[in-house]
Amino acid sequence: MSAQWIKLRYLADFNPGPPNAVRNSSESFPLYPMEAINNFKAPNTAISHEPVSKLLSGYSYLEPRDVAYAKVTPCFENGKGIIGTDLQDPSFATTELTVLRPKPGISQRYLAYLLQSPLFKNQAQSSMTGAGGLKRVSEQFVKDIKLPVPSFREQEKIADQLDHELAEIEASIADQNQLLNLLHEHLKASISHHVQPAELAEQAGVSEITIDGISWRRTTVGRVTTINGGQVDPRVEPYASMILIAPNHIETGTGRILSSETAKEQGADSGKYVARRGQLLFSKIRPTLLKSTIAPENCLCSADMYAISADENWLTNKFLMYYFLSKNFQDTADINSERVAMPKLNKETLASTTLWIPNFTKQNSVEEILKKEISNTLESVSLLKKSIHLNKEKYNIIIKENLKQGGSR
């Protein structure tokens, strides 16, 4: 078996537009956001359908004969992509996809495996540009990446072999991801149980209630907090050298800060808020992602976040953070932000959110319990992710070896 090494631009057409039949259609078409896209497997079915007039600008177009890969970090590194055969009809998706339509003589399944292989990904990743946590693969660069291409018959044979060899690994990864989701859901439920017990949901119109000997008082977030105002220029000192925390630096549902970079290192050039050490940082963009944390030092926070101080006569910042990580708050945020194009909670809506507060002894007890529970969950998640990583490495090795068998130069 032999193969030629051919530039990707000669294997597929990049980002083909919709034909006139679609442009002039009166029908609605599926729209896949990035959240619905999986790793070259069938996308999630929880999608919207929109009239084509709303989709012709600002979205990628796909047909069942296409293949697409996510070009933005971290989705590219995580291997997100679509094989068109998983789509029932012509569809639209986020513009953060690069869509490829195989040319004659190129197998759709083989091309999909090429895009998942280290042969493509390692080179493509080296072309990523952008500031901070948002970088994109250069389409111009990847067009000139050379990849092994045997005969069409051999392409199909290799794809069949990979389908067979990878099925067991894919099943194992799916089981592990399901367990990961269960761990996160259990933690979210536990946080909710401790910061807003179920009995409180039944107390409409009541201002105070006693549960297991503990008094809980009803209030709203706005009555017991203050939010920092006044933005600063992150390009000038001392702000340029301060840590800048944005939603992408915070782990969903745990309050853990994943990475730290200064405003200068992130190339920040628009207004940011100053936060004091110990203040609560809350992401107002897509609040259902549950991204809140405690400022580890005097720092800056993104304009997409609020820097909040709890009234020390009522509650602690940490207890409030755990409330913002709870399922109770997630449900409230979902109701109050779902009608906004880019889901977010404005100050007025956040201020009106109901909050039940126990005494400080109970708050401190809850903080210690949840600190330990989050630590234990993160330890379990870490071990599970290591196992998933090993499976993915094995997956990539199998793809690479099968593709290279006929591609030696």
Q: What are phi and psi of 130, to 5 degrees?
A: 140, 170
Q: Which of 125-139, 180-194, 253-267 has the lowest mean pLDDT?
A: 125-139
Q: Specify the CATH superfamily of domain 4-149.
A: DNA methylase specificity domains (3.90.220.20)
pLDDT digits 0-9 by tens, 122-144: 999 999 998 756 899 999 999 99
pLDDT digits 0-9 by tens, 315-326: 999 999 999 999
In whole angstroms, give the CA distance from residue 289 to residue 253: 7
Assess whether pLDDT exceeds 80 at residue 105: yes
- Provide the residue ranges of all domains of the chain, joining segments of one domain with +: 4-149, 151-195+362-409, 197-358
In whole angstroms, give the CA distance from residue 266 to residue 22: 41
β 272-275/231-232 pair status: antiparallel
In whole angstroms, give the CA distance from residue 146 to residue 191: 50
Query: What is the average pLDDT value for the chain, to the nearest integer?
Result: 91
Judge if 4-149 and 197-358 fold alike in CATH terms.
yes
What is the token pair recorded at 14? 């990049």
What is the token pair recorded at 107? 């197998």
pLDDT digits 0-9 by tens, 217-245: 999 999 999 999 999 999 999 999 999 99
pLDDT at position 338: 53
Distance set, CA 368 to CA 191, 314, 318, 375 (Å): 12, 18, 10, 11
> pLDDT category, 147, cuts 50, 70, 90?
very high
Q: Which residues pair with 100 in a beta bridge?
A: 14, 67
pLDDT at position 331: 85
Return the axis-axis angle of helices 360-404 and 118-125, rounded to nearest 10°: 120
- 44 or 120, which is more confident? 120
Sign, CA dihedral 9-12-17-20, equals positive
- Does the domain at residues 197-358 carry the CATH identifier 3.90.220.20? yes
> pLDDT category, 44, cuts 50, 70, 90?
confident
Would the pTM count as exceeding 0.75?
A: no
